[in-house]
Amino acid sequence: MNSLQPPMKRPIQSDIDDEWPTLGHGHTRHTRHTPVSIPPVILRLTDGKANFRQMDIAALKAIVNEIASQVGNPKHSESQRGGDLFVYPVDAAQQKALLQLNQASGRPISPALPKSANKAKGIIYRVPRSETNEDLLDALSTHGVINVERFTRTIDDRAELSETVLLTFRYRIPPRVTVVTLSFQVHKYYPSPYKCTKCWHLGHTKNHCSSATTTCRNCGDNHNDILTNACKNALTARALLTLHNPKNVQHT
């Protein structure tokens, strides 16, 4: 009797071995492997000549190849609308090396971290809605809080204040904060990716969308989802409600 052979294992390709750079324009590619705790390093050319978006491919490759020879291959990179190069490091050591760059291929470079990287953000829950942002900021200033933003939620097409509050700290996030006698555990904040309300893809906004048509988020067809008479999913849902409730009795 022949013994069964175990199935062959497919090799797992490392993300770090991906070819660098990713020469995209207008959006940033984030994957589930991208470490959210390591912000990108922004590289800016300071000699007044062609920036990373304006230069030709050969010149761009020469610069990024020299950068890679100095610091190693990063996770990926994107040239943004302003002409700067956003380089996403694989670890903190590479981020530090990128911040020490001063030139590449004979061009002077100024590296910097995003402004948001110098601040820490955390979330607290079940905060009474009666407390205003100004009152919370005043009460939490001793914890190093420099900004307070209360999230909203939509109920029956109306925006209402929620009990979830986003805190921006000057430096590190403390485990807990206290508002008078109320103590709140601080959870690390992971921002949501950009979502386009035109094509409904992640990674960019409507103002930077390259799609020529508007996509409905309900059914995926090329029409605005506000136009419910053109949405087959909305029409089906309306028909089901009519069938279920022929007398149009209001439900609460």
pLDDT of residue 125: 96
Whether residue 107 is found in the same domain as residue 182: no
Give the pLDDT of residue 24. 35
pLDDT at 18: 37
Do 108 and 60 share a domain, yes or no? Answer: yes
Neighbours of 165 (CB within 10 A): 25
CA distances for 149 relative to 113, 145, 165, 171, angstroms? 23, 11, 6, 17
Domain count, the chain: 2
Q: Does residue 179 lie within any of the structural domains?
A: yes
CA atoms of 130 and 126, how far apart (whole Å):
11
The rounded average pLDDT for each run of 10 residues, N- to C-terminus, in the chain (252 residues) is 44 36 38 53 93 92 92 88 89 92 94 79 94 95 93 85 93 90 92 80 79 78 62 70 60 48
Distance CA 167, CA 123 (A): 6
Do 33 and 90 fall into the same domain? yes
Name the token pair of 51.
């920036």
Q: Is 240 within a domain?
A: no
**In a shared domain, residues 77 and 155:** no
**pLDDT tens digits, one per residue of 241-252:** 666 655 555 554
CATH number, residue 124: 3.30.70.330
Q: Write the pLDDT tens digit of every residue in 151-194.
A: 998 887 788 999 999 999 987 889 999 998 899 999 988 877 77
Paired with 37 in beta bridges are: none
CB 193 within 8 A of CB 186: no
In a domain, residue 180? The reply is yes
Give the per-residue pLDDT at 249: 53
Q: What is the pLDDT of residue 120?
A: 85
Q: What is the pLDDT at residue 203?
A: 74
Do 80 and 136 share a structural domain?
Answer: no
Q: Which residues of 86-115 are buried (b: 16+ CB within 10 A; e: fewer)?
A: bbbbbeeebbebbeebeebeebebebeeee
Residue 48: the pLDDT is 92
User: Which of 225, 239, 139 has its CA nearest to residue 184?
Assistant: 139
Q: Please check whether residues 35 and 108 belong to one and the same domain.
A: yes
Confirm whether 196 is domain-assigned: no
CATH number at residue 59: 3.30.70
Please check whether residue 200 lies inside any domain of the structure.
Answer: no
pLDDT at position 15 is 36
The residue segments making up the domain with residue 87 are 18-117
Residue 225's pLDDT is what? 55
Same domain, 45 and 111: yes
Distance of alpha carbon 119 from alpha carbon 145, whole angstroms: 10
| 4 domain-assigned | no
